[in-house]
Amino acid sequence: MEFTGIYHKTSEQMSYPLNERELIINLKTGYDVEKVFIHYGDPFEAGILGGKETWTGKREEIFYKKRLRFQIWWTTTLVPAYKRCKYFFELHTTDQVWYYFEDGFLTEEQLHMEGRMQQCFVVPWMNPADINRTPDWVNDTVWYQIFPDRFCNGTPGKNAGQLCPWRNGPVTNEERFGGNLEGIRQKLPYLKELGINGIYLNPIMEAESNHKYDTTDYTKIDPCFGEKEVFIRLVQEAHAQGIRIMVDAVFNHCGRKFAPWLDVLEKGRASRYADWFMVNTWPIPEKQADTRDGRYYSFAFADGMPKLNTNNEEVIDYFCGICRDWITDYDIDGIRFDVGNEVSHRFLKTLRHHLKALKPDIYLLGEIWHDASQWLAGDEYDSVMNYPLTSGIHDFFLDSSMKKEEFEFMVNRCYTMYMQQNNNVMFNLLDSHDTERLMNRFHSLDTFYQQLAVLFTMPGSPCIFYGTEIAMEGGHDPDCRRCMPWEELELPENQEKTAALRKLILLRRTEPACRSLYFHFPNEYSSGRCVEYIKLDGEGREVEVLLNCSREMMEIKEDGEVLFSRGFHDRLLEPGGTLIRHKNR
């Protein structure tokens, strides 16, 4: 047996309560393990711990598994009678059986050795207060990300002389085009018709730049975007149409005209806000007198902006108050935290405690581009932006040498990193204000829609960047932030593209299987570049997704009702073709 491939621990995403009844147990093994059984039961069913009675437990086979590149991920759900559980694993290869405990592996003979003190895995108690709870509504949401300055100018006569004329094509960070909150409000019927029921807004608080990530006043809507009353009206009308609103919080750094920073610039270490900002320190060279506690110091910056000290109690209290006011004044539904992996854990734990008490179903989303397990234990973020899935999808379509198994391994990796609660509300995206636009990467509508088909059928909550409905192009940041070409939306080719996206959105919202956490890869087709997977809803109904990523025509087996297709006719799926359909049982 390949012992080095086997891993389990009673924490994080390996062993955790899904809710107050169900306990999820996950195990990694090598591919040589063919069967896994779990022996489990109440820790006290044979008497007190340390007593002479022998604990045995109930034996059940674990059937559900996902393939990773070098390991298998086995999953089972237990329902402990008394919210506590003791267990160990029984592992079968072709010719061996081993028993896996917290302290290692035992043979059959060692397992039954009289007097042996078995070090079982133990979940002491499924404390309701410790269960990772995420807002259910997020899984039903299709997000539309808006960069406010470039989406729609709802007051074109205002500040006209200070604005660049609305235009198509490349942009930089220097122009301001006049998109505002009133423009977004006026386009709510358009978004409703598209099928959108969630809007993610890039920063709207007062700042110097057009992107507004350099906040100068966290209490005030930027005058470029409108007044407080405009945003209140926008949120109210959005809610009336079933659309949620999420705002961007920039708490890792601030703008250079943020009042506390100006005070520090004026007064230096004498400023009452000096400890609001992070400093870099290093030892003083000999004969230097400019010191702080025997060290040189300078303030830390993030992208040229002062970096806030989110360990400081006053800073924590200040931003808790800011978020509280955003909720009470505007009734927002979610907050996305910019540079979410650089603010302190202490800050996030305190903030979550305050905000969930105020609005239990508020969605707290972190911008983290890598494995975010340490932020998703249930006491900080509900979810993160799923950039590992973004890059995994992109790389598969970029690299034609990758086979469909590698797509499977990639997807399975993304959905074995976190607890099911987090996976259910993961913020899935293919592009954003920080990346090259999706259409720009391959300049192929076929590939564009294949990737969107994945986005709308993966667990979590899909987000599209404004303009995706017409396959809008744009290079890397800042060129991805082009103006929305409203005058071109009525062109026949754009109407066709919009109709295709509307169909995918409707499919996502009406088919429970598309929103489900449950999927598997059946491997029914011989083509090495045919991505195929099955999504299952809670009733066992199946939706099949087929993507022909090869250069050859594929003959497709007869099956159920077609829900979405591109390049599919007469049971043939063209190269670059997409097929989503019900699968007959």
- The catalytic residues are 338, 367
Which residue from 372, 212, 230, 196 is spatially nearest to 364, judged by alpha carbons? 372
Alpha carbon distances (Å) from 62 to 40, 59, 99, 206: 12, 10, 14, 54
CA quadruple 560, 563, 564, 570: dihedral positive or negative? positive
Omega of the bond prior to 478 within 30 degrees of 0, cis? yes
* 284 vs 293: CA distance, rounded Å: 10
Residue 416, both tokens: 């074995």
* 369 vs 341: CA distance, rounded Å: 9
Q: Which residues of 510-540 are buried (b: 16+ CB within 10 A; e: fewer)?
A: ebebbbbbebbbeeebeeebbbbbbbbeeee
Which residue from 499, 433, 438, 448 is spatially nearest to 150, judged by alpha carbons? 433
* 214 vs 248: CA distance, rounded Å: 12
424, exposed or middle or buried, with CB in 10 Å at 0-12, 13-18, 19+? buried
Q: What angle do CA 387, 145, 471 make, to 5 degrees?
A: 85
CB neighbours of residue 254 within 10 Å: 25
Secondary structure of residue 287 in the 3-state scheme = coil
Quickly list H helices, 241-400. 259-267, 313-330, 345-358, 387-398
Which residue from 536, 531, 542 is spatially nearest to 577, judged by alpha carbons? 531
Which residue from 420, 418, 408, 356 is spatially nearest to 139, judged by alpha carbons? 420
